[in-house]
């Protein structure tokens, strides 16, 4: 029998337990696919005596995961602790220094330290693998790094957080408020007790920074991602979006714009006929625009024990086979440092919802503010009249520069008749690349 690939697992939470389950359930088929058995030799977790649905009998136990990474009888260290710094980072650094391959599901770690870790891993002659860090069970890392290697990519975007997609889907289907649906998501386990990491867009931004590095051969630059969450999206916006032929999605979008890297996470109005508009519930989807494949979309579950563990084990199979590729598709020394594109120079169309006092002259004042910043209105919606009371007014604009839109919104917000801060959501058409001849 071939020598087994011995692995040490740091972290026995949901994904750690799931990884052990997958390795046990599919041991024989994984051996056939890998050409050798994959065997867990050591584990580390905060609570040794905690009851778990998998057995750790016969495995070396380490109370200090970093010591395990440096000393365990293992070729691979699997880091499933989480967080961008602290013990998770120490585990990966210790494993690389000891000449061990690293597999991680830690998107925050890769987004914030991926370039440095990639350089260290390549210098040590080991792999740094992270399929599970982005979009759970969707094999998007392998797709961008290998499957689409023949393409020059112009844009990559997607629904990168299942919690936000679940909330927006259920707000649309039920008409309930963000707070009500968030509370339900927490009860069902789709959202954490402190949901800010998800609903404020940070989780999606971590994943987007990784996708951008893969797609464009650049250093990971999480700090340059423009981030907005979904807290301000209301049932009213969702109803107006439906009337206008859109779905509201929290999207991460990365593109090369005039040699600069555009990275942004925010709610978007997406045409209902766009394939990504139909991705609902806790599902994720990632779309890549390439010069030879045109547009490719992958959809699947983006989190949870099974999908994430599946991605972890896929990386282990590659290592067991002896398959190696640079962390971000090209050698780390060749990763470009791209200048970030200014969000104020973003060009696009916009949805604006206003709450105004219904009185003569209001539209004239709004139109004057738009005229002053050279912003052109495409459509306007107002249902009914209630003179002297507040009403909702919705406008969509033709494409314009974000700086002009920012100035327009500030001018409109200063009007006496506008009683709440305007709600602004960017409209994304996602026109496909021109067909190749």
The angle at the Cα of 312, spanning 311 to 313, to the nearest 5 degrees, equals 90
Helix axes 305-321, 14-25, angle to 10 degrees: 60
Contacts with 434 (C-beta within 8 Å, 6 or more apart), sequence order:
none
Rounded Cα–Cα distance for residues 129 and 314 (Å): 10
Domain at 344-427: CATH code = 3.30.70.260
Domain ranges for the chain, please list them: 5-133, 145-301, 344-427
Rounded Cα–Cα distance for residues 340 and 330 (Å): 20
Pairing mode of beta strands 390-397, 347-357: antiparallel
Q: What is the pLDDT of residue 436?
A: 35
Domain at 5-133: CATH code = 3.40.50.720
Q: What is the pLDDT of residue 302?
A: 83
Q: What is the pLDDT of residue 432?
A: 54
Fold assignment, 145-301: Dihydrodipicolinate Reductase; domain 2 (3.30.360)
Active site residue 207: yes
> E strands, 119-259, where?
128-129, 153-159, 226-227, 246-257
Locate 204 and state its tokens: 């999606």
Rounded Cα–Cα distance for residues 333 and 318 (Å): 23
Catalytic residue among 89, 107, 142, 207: 207
H or E segment to which residue 111 belongs: helix 107-124
Rounded Cα–Cα distance for residues 209 and 341 (Å): 14
Rounded Cα–Cα distance for residues 342 and 43 (Å): 45
Rounded Cα–Cα distance for residues 187 and 344 (Å): 39
Q: What is the pLDDT of residue 383?
A: 79
Rounded Cα–Cα distance for residues 223 and 261 (Å): 12
Locate 27 and state its tokens: 């041991």
CB 119 within 8 A of CB 328: no
How many other CB atoms sit within 10 Å of the CB of residue 431? 10
Low-confidence ranges of the chain (pLDDT < 70): 1, 431-437
Rounded Cα–Cα distance for residues 77 and 244 (Å): 50
Q: What is the pLDDT of residue 431?
A: 66
pTM above 0.85, yes or no: yes
């Amino acid at each position: 029998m071939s020598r087994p690939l011995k692995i040490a697992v740091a972290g026995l939470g949901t994904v750690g337990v799931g990884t052990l389950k997958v390795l046990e359930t599919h041991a024989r088929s994984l051996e056939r696919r890998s050409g050798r058995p994959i065997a867990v030799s050591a584990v580390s977790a905060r609570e040794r005596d905690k009851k778990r649905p998998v057995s750790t009998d016969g495995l070396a136990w380490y109370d200090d995961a970093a010591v395990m990474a440096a000393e365990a009888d293992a070729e691979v260290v699997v880091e499933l602790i989480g967080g961008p710094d602290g013990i998770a980072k120490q585990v990966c650094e210790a494993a690389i220094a000891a000449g061990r391959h690293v597999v991680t599901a830690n998107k925050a770690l890769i987004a914030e330290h991926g370039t440095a870790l990639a350089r260290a891993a390549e210098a040590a002659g080991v792999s740094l693998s992270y399929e599970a860090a982005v979009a759970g069970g969707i094999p998007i890392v392998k797709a961008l790094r290998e499957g689409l290697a023949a393409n020059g990519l112009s844009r990559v975007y997607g629904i990168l957080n299942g919690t936000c997609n679940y909330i927006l889907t259920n707000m649309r289907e039920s008409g309930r408020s963000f707070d009500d649906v968030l509370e339900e998501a927490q009860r069902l386990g789709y959202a954490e007790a402190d949901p800010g990491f998800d609903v404020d867009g940070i989780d999606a931004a971590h994943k987007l920074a990784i996708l951008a590095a893969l797609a464009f051969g650049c250093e990971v630059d999480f700090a340059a991602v423009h981030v907005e969450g979904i807290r301000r999206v209301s049932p009213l916006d969702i109803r107006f979006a439906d009337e206008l032929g859109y779905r509201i999605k929290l999207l991460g979008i990365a593109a090369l714009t005039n040699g600069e890297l555009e990275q942004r996470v925010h709610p978007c109005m997406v045409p209902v006929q766009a394939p990504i508009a139909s991705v609902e519930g806790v599902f994720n989807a990632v779309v890549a625009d390439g010069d030879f494949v045109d547009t490719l979309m992958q959809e699947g579950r983006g989190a949870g024990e099974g999908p994430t563990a599946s991605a972890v084990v896929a990386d282990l199979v590659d290592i067991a086979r002896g398959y190696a590729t640079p962390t971000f598709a090209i050698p780390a020394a060749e990763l470009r440092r791209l200048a970030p594109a200014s969000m104020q120079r973003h060009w696009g169309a916009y949805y604006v919802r206003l709450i105004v006092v219904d009185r003569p002259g209001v539209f004239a004042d709004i139109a004057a503010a738009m005229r002053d910043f050279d912003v052109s209105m495409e459509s306007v919606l107002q249902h009914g009249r209630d003179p002297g009371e507040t009403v909702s007014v919705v406008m969509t604009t033709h494409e314009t520069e974000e700086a002009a839109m920012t100035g327009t919104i500030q001018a409109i917000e200063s009007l006496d008749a506008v009683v709440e801060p305007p709600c602004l959501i960017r409209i994304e058409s996602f026109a496909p690349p021109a067909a190749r001849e």
